[in-house]
């Protein structure tokens, strides 16, 4: 499994893309998707809501478990991935691409995020 | 005893296949190899291969083996013919369920009792405690067997390629000794998936060879290795109870809707068996004034009910509790088994909700099982 180099990662296993006009995309990592198993239900924050780094903003349900979804940054939700709401298996099949979860207009530089290599080391430890 | 989980004879095989492992009843077992939904669908439509070596085998032999089991268990075990198997239970004197079991009669004076991994020691202890005065011996055979299961509509064809045993003559809940892929096995037509299938009890030293032979023989038919995660959704769709969920020491077989396993008309021991009086009272209560009944629940939404979640009415009154729940791959929606007040137990009852972490999600009461295979 490889974690894309251009993304940054949280210790809660979310990824964050680089900002384009202040808006970043968020998803969960392949490592997290594999640990969950088949994702069957995704609850995402509503567009327009404010999220805070490290706080829960939704949940992911798999066959065996329920996991909270954390935002890796402070900001305001600008878009959610309706495709993944309708077909949660996208989180498993394409966690870094079609399985993205939401877009967030970031307010301030996110702290304590990991590079791809640092995240790879973190999940090995 | 150590705290480290035990590993089956197939441990290295599972790891080589990339299985996600989980601690289950003190055993390190495969949870899934790839997608649990794909594994589930494979068993429903083709075939799946399971390692169930954590199950606990106990052998009972001797002139009074049948009498001992008739006394210790709730079923009529003396009435099981050689080569046949019986689903039964072992209960406390007070009627609570200690475990559900499959008992195979291997010979006139030899039975194999298969207990859940989590309860094997409890069952062994209870059988030993109840054996006084019987001319019978109880042997802990947990380490004597590995258990592989081939389940699904393609399983007879796959197994036929590897054995001369008369599989066509082997009925559901029957077992016979045979050779599979050169390995001595007890071949049983039993399972926990709601599909046709076989369970193969073999020496642990033969487990890897048998696994590999079955994998190769089943490849073209679409057989895949399957973990405990899909085993749980398969049994849930088939309405089969799981100890620790639907069955506990706080429930009697009658509470669980399985009163048929209790046989009051036994000929041995003057009809006496452990739990008889309490179970007779439980049967009467279930008939006249049932506390709660075990039902199926079908989701209208997509959120998944889990064991322990309250079942509530529209105004939030608690009327029951979920014992098992999962997304059903076959039905395409979440399902659950729950104990609910008798007034809400009729299939089709509306206005029933499950409290899913504070959100009341609508459910419809359904008969069990959710899935029944076409024969």
Counting every residue written for chain B, the total comes to 375
- To probe the interface with A, which of B36, B38, B232, B304 has the most A CB atoms within 10 Å? B304
Task: Kindly tell me the burial class for residue A3, based on how many C-beta atoms sit within 10 Å of its own C-beta (0-12, 13-18, 19 or more).
Answer: buried
Say whether both B257 and B335 belong to one domain. Answer: no
Q: Which of B229, B233, B304 sits opposite A41 (nearest CB)?
A: B304
- Please report, for the domain that includes residue B310, its CATH number: 2.40.30.110
Say whether both B164 and B134 belong to one domain. Answer: no
Q: Is residue B285 part of a domain?
A: no
Q: Is residue B172 part of a domain?
A: yes
β-strands B146-151, B97-107: how paired? unpaired
Q: Is residue B33 part of a domain?
A: yes
Domains contained in chain B, number: 3
Retrieve residue B123's tokens. Answer: 């069952």
Retrieve residue B188's tokens. Answer: 């049983």
Question: In this predicted model, what pLDDT tens digit does every residue of A111-123 receive, in sequence order?
Answer: 789 999 999 999 9
Quote the CA–CA distance of A7 and B332 in Å, as a whole number. 34
Say whether both B165 and B208 belong to one domain. Answer: yes
A33 Cα to chain B: minimum distance (Å): 11
Q: Is residue B375 part of a domain?
A: no
Asked if residue B338 lies in contact with residue B368, where contact means CB atoms within 8 angstroms, the answer is: no
Q: Binding site for substrate: which residues of B?
A: 199
A37 and B306 within 8 Å at the Cβ level: the answer is: no
Task: State which residue of chain A sits closest to B302, comparing Cα positions.
Answer: A41
In this prediction, residue B119 carries a pLDDT of 98
Range of the domain at B326: 292-366
Residues B298, B249, B98, B200, Cα dihedral to 10°? 20
Angle at B176 between CA B174 and CA B180, to 5 degrees: 120
Say whether both B150 and B233 belong to one domain. Answer: yes
Asked if residue B87 lies in contact with residue B261, where contact means CB atoms within 8 angstroms, the answer is: yes
Q: Is residue B282 part of a domain?
A: no
Say whether both B45 and B116 belong to one domain. Answer: no
Say whether both B14 and B115 belong to one domain. Answer: no
Nearest CA to B53 out of B83, B11, B18 is that of: B11
State the DSSP string of B299-342: ESSSPPP-TTPEEEETT--EEEEEEEEEEETTTTEEEEEEEEEG
Say whether both B92 and B229 belong to one domain. Answer: no
Q: Binding site: which residues of B?
A: 199
A41 in contact with chain B, both atoms CB, cutoff 8 A: yes
User: Is A8-107 CATH 3.30.360.10?
Assistant: no
Say whether both B87 and B224 belong to one domain. Answer: no
Asked if residue B330 lies in contact with residue B369, where contact means CB atoms within 8 angstroms, the answer is: no
Say whether both B153 and B226 belong to one domain. Answer: yes
Counting every residue written for chain A, the total comes to 125
A37 in contact with chain B, both atoms CB, cutoff 8 A: yes
In this prediction, residue B82 carries a pLDDT of 97
B35 Cα to chain A: minimum distance (Å): 6
Q: Which of A34, A41, A64 sits opposite B303 (nearest CB)?
A: A41
Retrieve residue B288's tokens. Answer: 């006249």
* Backbone dihedral angles phi then psi of residue B206, each to the nearest 5 degrees: -95, -5
Say whether both B152 and B40 belong to one domain. Answer: yes
Q: Is residue B243 part of a domain?
A: no
**Helix B228-237 / helix B36-45 crossing angle, nearest 10 deg:** 50
A96 Cα to chain B: minimum distance (Å): 18
- Please report, for the domain that includes residue B136, its CATH number: 3.30.70.1400
Give a three-class secondary structure readout of A70-104. ECCCCEEEEEECHHHHHCCCHHHHCCCCCCCCEEE
| H or E element that contains B158 | helix B155-160
Q: Is residue B280 part of a domain?
A: no
Q: Is residue B373 part of a domain?
A: no
In this prediction, residue B344 carries a pLDDT of 96
Retrieve residue B70's tokens. Answer: 């008739």
| H or E element that contains B9 | none
For residue A81, pLDDT beyond 80: yes
For residue A18, pLDDT beyond 90: no
Q: What is the pTM of this model?
A: 0.93
Quote the CA–CA distance of B42 and B38 in Å, as a whole number. 6
A40 in contact with chain B, both atoms CB, cutoff 8 A: yes
Say whether both B149 and B228 belong to one domain. Answer: yes
Say whether both B45 and B160 belong to one domain. Answer: yes
Domain boundaries, chain A: 8-107
Task: State which residue of chain A sits closest to B234, comparing Cα positions.
Answer: A63
Q: Is the ipTM of this complex over 0.85?
A: no
- Please report, for the domain that includes residue B42, its CATH number: 3.30.1360.120
State the DSSP string of B131-147: -TT-S-EEEE-TTT-EE
Asked if residue B354 lies in contact with residue B295, where contact means CB atoms within 8 angstroms, the answer is: no
B37 in contact with chain A, both atoms CB, cutoff 8 A: yes
Instruction: Spell out the per-residue pLDDT of chain B, length 375, in tens.
Output: 557 899 999 999 999 999 999 999 999 999 999 999 999 999 999 999 999 999 999 999 999 999 999 999 999 999 999 999 999 999 999 999 999 999 999 999 999 999 999 999 999 999 999 999 999 999 999 999 999 999 999 999 999 999 999 999 999 999 999 999 999 999 999 999 999 999 999 999 999 999 999 999 999 999 999 999 999 999 999 999 999 999 999 999 999 999 999 999 998 999 999 999 999 999 999 999 998 999 999 998 889 999 999 999 999 999 999 999 999 999 999 999 999 999 999 999 988 999 999 999 999 999 999 999 987
């Amino acid at each position: 499994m490889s974690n894309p180099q251009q993304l940054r990662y949280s210790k809660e296993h979310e990824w964050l893309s680089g900002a384009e006009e202040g808006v970043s995309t968020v998803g969960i990592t392949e490592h997290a998707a594999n640990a969950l198993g088949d994702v069957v239900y995704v609850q995402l924050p509503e567009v327009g809501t404010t999220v805070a780094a490290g706080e829960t903003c939704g949940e992911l349900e798999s066959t065996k478990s329920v996991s909270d979804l954390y935002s890796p940054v402070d900001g305001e939700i600008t878009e959610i991935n309706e495709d993944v709401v309708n077909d949660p298996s996208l989180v498993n099949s394409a966690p870094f691409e079609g399985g993205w979860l939401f877009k967030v207009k970031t307010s301030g530089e996110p702290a304590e995020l990991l590079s791809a290599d640092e995240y790879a080391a973190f999940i090995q430890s | 005893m150590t705290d480290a989980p035990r590993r089956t004879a197939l441990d290295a095989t599972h790891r080589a296949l990339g299985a996600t492992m989980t601690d289950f009843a003190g055993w390190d077992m495969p949870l899934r190899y790839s997608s649990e939904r794909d594994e589930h669908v494979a068993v429903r439509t083709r075939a799946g291969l399971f390692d169930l070596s954590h199950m606990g085998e106990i052998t009972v032999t001797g002139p009074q083996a049948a009498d001992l089991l008739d006394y210790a268990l709730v079923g009529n075990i003396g009435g099981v013919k050689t080569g046949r198997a019986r689903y039964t239970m072992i209960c406390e004197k007070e009627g609570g369920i200690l475990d559900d079991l499959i008992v195979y009669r291997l010979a006139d004076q030899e039975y194999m009792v298969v207990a859940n991994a989590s309860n094997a020691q409890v069952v062994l202890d209870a059988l030993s405690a109840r054996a006084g005065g019987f001319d019978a011996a109880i042997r802990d055979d947990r380490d004597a067997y590995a258990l592989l299961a081939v389940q699904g509509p393609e399983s007879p064809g796959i197994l036929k390629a590897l054995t001369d045993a008369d599989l066509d003559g082997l009925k559901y809940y029957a077992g016979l000794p045979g050779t599979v892929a050169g390995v001595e096995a007890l071949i049983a037509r039993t399972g926990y998936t709601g599909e046709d299938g076989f369970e193969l009890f073999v020496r642990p030293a033969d487990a890897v060879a048998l696994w590999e032979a079955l994998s190769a023989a089943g490849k073209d038919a679409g057989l895949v290795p399957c973990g405990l995660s899909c085993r749980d959704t398969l049994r849930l769709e088939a309405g089969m109870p799981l100890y620790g969920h639907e069955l506990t020491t706080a429930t009697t077989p009658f509470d669980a809707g399985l009163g048929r396993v209790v046989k009051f008309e036994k000929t041995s021991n003057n009809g006496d068996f452990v739990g008889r009086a309490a179970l007779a009272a439980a049967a009467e209560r279930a008939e006249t004034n049932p506390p709660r009944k075990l039902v199926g629940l079908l989701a209208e939404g997509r959120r998944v009910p889990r064991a322990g979640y309250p079942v509530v009415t529209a105004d939030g009154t608690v009327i029951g509790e979920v014992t098992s729940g999962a997304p059903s791959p076959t039905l395409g929606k979440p399902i659950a088994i729950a104990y609910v007040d008798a007034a809400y137990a009729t299939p089709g009852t509306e206005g029933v909700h499950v409290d899913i972490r504070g959100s009341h999600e609508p459910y419809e009461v359904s008969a069990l099982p959710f899935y029944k295979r076409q024969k």
